[in-house]
Amino acid sequence: MTSELLRQYNYDEFLPEKFMPWMRFEESPALGVAAPDFPLWRLEDRARTLLAEWWSKNLYLVVEFGSFT
């Protein structure tokens, strides 16, 4: 994790030159193949979990990405 990546990803102003580089839906993973897994942290207890732990325990898993803002 570089400080430059942290700064660019967590941009401080909603300006096209800052947010447009992150609009990469067309480059996102294909459907129907193994999806990439990542560690995540549960808000309720800050425990580490994996995305795969959630999809493997349920028939289907709906994941909404977003933030307060």
- List residues binding other proteins (CB under 8 A): 1, 5-6, 9-16, 19, 22-44, 46, 49, 51-52, 54-69
Identify the residue whose tokens are 């999806």: 35
* Interatomic CA distance for residues 17 and 8, integer angstroms: 10
CB 18, min distance to other proteins, A: 9
The tokens describing 44, both together, are 């309720």
**54 touches 61 (CB < 8 A):** yes
What's the closest the beta carbon of residue 46 comes to other proteins, in angstroms? 7
In angstroms, what is the minimal distance from the CB of 19 to other proteins? 7
